[in-house]
Amino acid sequence: MQLTPFGLKIALLAGTAVLVNLPLGYLRQGVVKRSLAWFAYIHLSIPLLLWLRLHFALDWQVIPLSILGALLGQFGGGWLRLRLQQPGRS
């Protein structure tokens, strides 16, 4: 199966959303909930994802996919931090 240029652009946008938000989710998990840093870690990737969407000339319909990728990255990074901080892990 070969990706079309359109499909490749969408895959790059969603993949970037996940990869950029993994470390941000990791950092977010270590700060007080609803603090300034917490909000910053959640929203820091938005300008990059917006730029990518505009650069690839993708319409607004792909926004839910980039949000889904960002959520997966945020939760994945938070999960990773909790997993690594569990006591008794070697």
Which long-range CB contacts under 8 A does 62-68 form with residues at least 24 apart? 62/10, 62/13, 65/10, 65/13, 65/14, 66/13, 66/14, 66/17, 67/17, 68/14, 68/17
| Those residues with Cβ within 8 angstroms of residue 66's Cβ, 6 or more apart along the chain or in another chain | 13, 14, 17, 49, 53
- Does residue 16 fall inside a structural domain? yes
Residue 89 has pLDDT above 90, yes or no: no
pLDDT at 73: 98
The arithmetic mean of pLDDT across residues 52-68, rounded, is 96
- Does residue 10 fall inside a structural domain? yes
The arithmetic mean of pLDDT across residues 35-47, rounded, is 98
23 and 42 in contact (C-beta within 8 Å)?
Answer: no
- Does residue 21 fall inside a structural domain? yes
Task: Tell if the pTM clears 0.75, that is, is over it.
Answer: yes
Confidence of residue 1 (pLDDT cuts 50, 70, 90): low
Instruction: Give the residue numbers spanning the domain of 77.
Output: 5-84
Residue 17 has pLDDT above 80, yes or no: yes
- Does residue 61 fall inside a structural domain? yes
Neighbours of 74 (CB within 10 A): 22
Q: How far apart are CA 71 and CA 73, in angstroms?
A: 5
Residue 58 has pLDDT above 90, yes or no: yes
Domains contained in the chain, number: 1
- Does residue 90 fall inside a structural domain? no
The arithmetic mean of pLDDT across residues 45-69, rounded, is 96
